[in-house]
Amino acid sequence: MKKQEIYLAGGCYWGTEKYMASVKGVLETAVGFANGKTERPTYEQVCKENTDHAETVHVVYDEEQLPLETLLRLFYKIIDPTSVNQQGEDIGRQYRTGVYYTREEDKVVIEQSLAQLQQAYEQPLAVECCPLEQFWLAEEYHQKYLDKNPNGYCHVPWDLIDWVENIDPKEYK
């Protein structure tokens, strides 16, 4: 096993976390706030006080089972990569999309995957690719929110969550 980590901002972190946690090869997930200007922000601060954080999911994965390129392709299935500061009905700077890395070698992989993704769109992509500056865990009630609240709000289509949960990793495309 070769543990790696990546931080993914894809709108409301509840749905993004549920989807990523369902991917075979993902070992751990946690939701929080990345790359803002306030230390230890609360959810309420992020929503109301212009902290400039993105709702983000910390993803720990087994690179031998799930290469970063594949993980990113799966992530792109649940976002509109051309939408600025919005995913689904979630609107605001905290809902921007981004891929935040902790290893410099991941930057090349991310940039290549975004270049490949851009070929499918006429509009420019709005997905940030930058180093993780900081990550603050969200409050406990946000962690695994959709497991605790199965009828809770989710911008990610449930059929995609079911699909990724039930597909053989060799078939990830």
d(CA 165, CA 109): 24
Angle at 153 between CA 23 and CA 139, to 5 degrees: 80
**Domain span holding position 73:** 3-171
Catalytic machinery residues: 12
* pLDDT band for position 171 (cuts 50, 70, 90): confident
CATH of the domain at 118: 3.30.1060.10
Q: Which amino acid is at 134?
A: Q
d(CA 49, CA 47): 6
What pLDDT, in 10s, does the model give residues 20-57?
A: 999 999 999 999 999 999 999 999 999 999 999 999 99
pTM value?
0.96
Q: What is the mean pLDDT of residues 58-66?
A: 96
Number of structural domains in the chain: 1
